Amino acid sequence: MESDERLFERMRGGDLAAFDALYLRWERRLYGFIRAYLDDGAEAEDVFHETFLTVLRAPVDFSRGTFKAWVHQVARNACLNRLRSRRRGESARERATSVPEPAPMTAAEALEADEAQRALARAVAQLPKSLAEIYRLRASGLSYEEMAEVLDVPLGTVKSRMHQMVLELKKEMRVWTAHE
């Protein structure tokens, strides 16, 4: 399979088939990542398309990074911008963090997974912003190094936040599962 970076180079050279391949490769994962930031599916779709417009226009050199980390950074920045503009236009009420929907399964499995998903969403919503961000990046499949690149922080900071995030989620999940 051709690398994302190579497809990007071909796209920059005018190969629209390469753009289509990148788009299809990243459509589901990146939308899920964006959806975890924004609680509105239509808004997440808009941000996804904005992200790919940026991909189409951006003169990027991947000699020091990966397409995967860069496209997540672009999407994250677009989400943060959207959230900032949303706060300006709305009251200061907080929005719950959602997580990507689970894959299709049997009815019993779906019910159990749905309950677990709600408990996890509540637990993630209780995390401090920096830890919730680590959760979303990791859930999108980014490595520690790629998360450090996206967040522009040292690798040790990512590892420390990851450890804190796991401890906090364990604590929150115990609280939520005890109530059910």
At 55-65, the pLDDT tens digits run 877 777 777 78
| Amino acid 139: pLDDT | 82
Q: Do 85 and 126 share a domain, yes or no?
A: no
Number of domains in the chain: 2
CATH code (residue 31): 1.10.1740.10
Measuring CA to CA, how many Å separate 136 from each of 9, 143, 166?
28, 12, 13
Q: Do 163 and 91 share a domain, yes or no?
A: no
Range(s) of the domain holding residue 75: 1-95
Q: What is the dihedral of CA 85, 157, 118, 176, to 10 degrees?
A: -120
pLDDT in tens, 21-55: 988 899 899 999 999 888 888 889 889 988 988 88
| Amino acid 108: pLDDT | 64
| Amino acid 25: pLDDT | 92
Q: Do 139 and 170 share a domain, yes or no?
A: yes
**Residue that is last in its domain, among 95, 115, 136:** 95
Which sign, positive or negative, has the C-alpha torsion 176, 122, 99, 58?
Answer: negative
**Residue that is last in its domain, among 62, 80, 95:** 95
Q: Do 21 and 86 share a domain, yes or no?
A: yes
**H/E segment holding residue 168:** helix 155-179
pLDDT of 149 higher than 70: yes
**Residue that is last in its domain, among 95, 120, 150:** 95
Phi/psi of residue 173, each to 5°? -65, -40
Q: Do 112 and 170 share a domain, yes or no?
A: yes
Instruction: Report the pLDDT averaged over residues 68-92.
Output: 82
Q: Which residue type occupies 125?
A: A
Q: Do 11 and 89 share a domain, yes or no?
A: yes
CATH code (residue 127): 1.10.10.10
Which sign, positive or negative, has the C-alpha torsion 157, 163, 169, 175?
Answer: negative
Q: What is the dihedral of CA 9, 12, 17, 19, to 10 degrees?
A: 90
Report whether 81 contacts 54 (CB < 8 A).
no
Please indicate whether residue 74 or residue 86 has the higher confidence score (pLDDT).
74
Q: Do 78 and 151 share a domain, yes or no?
A: no
Of the listed ranges 22-36, 89-103, 139-153, the one predicted with least confidence? 89-103
**Alpha helix (H) residue ranges in 60-154:** 67-89, 107-126, 129-139, 144-151
Q: How far apart are CA 9 and CA 25, in angstroms?
A: 15
Q: Do 79 and 122 share a domain, yes or no?
A: no
Of the listed ranges 34-38, 87-91, 113-117, the one predicted with least confidence? 87-91
What is the model's pTM? 0.60
pLDDT of 102 higher than 60: no
Q: Do 7 and 84 share a domain, yes or no?
A: yes
Q: Do 14 and 89 share a domain, yes or no?
A: yes
| Amino acid 95: pLDDT | 42
Q: Do 135 and 52 share a domain, yes or no?
A: no
Report whether 137 contacts 150 (CB < 8 A).
yes
Q: Do 4 and 75 share a domain, yes or no?
A: yes
